[in-house]
Amino acid sequence: MHSYLARQPVLNRNKETVGYELLFRDGPNNCFPDVEDELATNRLLADNFFTHSAKKATGGKLAFINFPYCSLIQRTPLMFSKKSFIIEILETCEPTDELLEAIMELHQQGYLLALDDFVPSEAWNRFLPYVHFVKFDVQATPIAKAGFFIRRQRERVEHLKFLAEKVETHEEFEAAREAGFDFFQGYFFSRPEMIQRKTLTPCALTTLRLYQEISQDNVDYKTVEAIIANDVSLSYKLLRHVNNMTSSLAKPITSFRQALVYLGEERLRRFISFVATAHATERKPRSLYGLSVQRAQFCERLSKKLSPAVSGSQAFLAGLFSLLDSLLDHPIEELISQLPLSEEVKDAVIHQQGQLGALLKLSQAYDQADWEQVTELCNTLSVAESVVAELYLESLQWSSFIEKASAE
């Protein structure tokens, strides 16, 4: 399963790239997909701010993302860190009281906002104190007219910056710069470039079970934790998402229970609904996901047999995330570095070092029926081969049971 993303650079007056507008694509052809604006936004966010770090796509620079009316009214941006992106208010939005209330709340929370394809009108004047960027399509609005607006607004709203979109020639760039624009974007600088990468999507059956749980009047955190722990996609996205939201905390959130409690019922419902809806029609490679969960269970069970014993939860995480590179087609170092895991888990998953690393090696050796390696690792860990065989069989039966239960 792949996600597709196009990006177009945003440059300053010195033609230096300061950011990118990120554009959703549903295939390798670099053209806008035939989907609703809200679905396009949700997919872009789910693929690039839950699973991956958007810094990879922007090189750490600003990210501009389009938000349609419904997404703004529903306060979708509040699910993400205020440093994640600049919220572009799509030109299709109506300047209603309801929208103004949402914009004021986002502004108060510290988010940066931009008016996209802006056309000056009295109805939008009350929004200007709460936005930070105004984007003009210079093919639709004459540069001279935009320049007149810029000069007037600089006297009224000092913090406003102005961006010229669809700049296609050197002459247009010079004219826009002379008119007072601060930033520029268009084919004169670069056409949108495609970025393709593997993405994780939650299992539809697991999602259904989660929907059932979060539909209850009182969420059973223990049950939700058990379901999420058995889905590597949701596990990864949950920890990434919550730690992006809590970057200011002294200690990162490292367990699913902590993450769920931090989110609370309302935000938990929104998180699950958002991720599930964004990928409602997609499938995932069941064999890899099944192996991840089975390996996690095997490592957890075996950790209790070691002397001294190893943390079962740490062993579970090491097994669960050990196949992320195969699932995402990205280096394991890059993926694991984005999660708030202990150094022991990171060393195990990336380098297969330490006791947790030995557990992963043993699991892999069993998967490959490398009995010589199994014997060597059992001796290293001081655990009987018969015990390992029993636990491996139990983990296989357990993962099979989970899969069957999900299908019911």
Q: What is the mean pLDDT of the chain?
A: 82
Q: pLDDT tens-digit profile of 370-385? A: 889 999 999 999 999 9
SS3 at position 68: coil
C-alpha distances (whole Å) from 299 to each of 232, 293, 358 are 15, 10, 10
Tokens coding 43 = 């997919």
Give strand pairing partners of 23.
Answer: 6
pLDDT at 370: 85
Least confident of 137-146, 287-296, 379-388: 287-296
Q: Which residue has the higher pLDDT, 387 or 51?
A: 387
pLDDT of 43 higher than 90: no
pLDDT of 169 higher than 70: yes
Confidence band (pLDDT; 50, 70, 90) for 58? confident
Most confident option among 49-63, 102-116, 268-282: 102-116
pLDDT at 110: 95
Whether residue 182 contacts residue 203, with contact meaning beta carbons closer than 8 Å, is answered with: no
Least confident of 4-8, 154-158, 160-164: 4-8
Q: pLDDT tens-digit profile of 69-95? A: 999 999 999 888 888 899 999 999 999
Q: At what angle do helices 354-367 and 371-381 cross, to 10 degrees?
A: 150
Whether residue 85 contacts residue 63, with contact meaning beta carbons closer than 8 Å, is answered with: yes
Contacts of residue 152, Cβ cutoff 8 Å, sequence gap at least 6: none
Whether residue 42 contacts residue 71, with contact meaning beta carbons closer than 8 Å, is answered with: yes
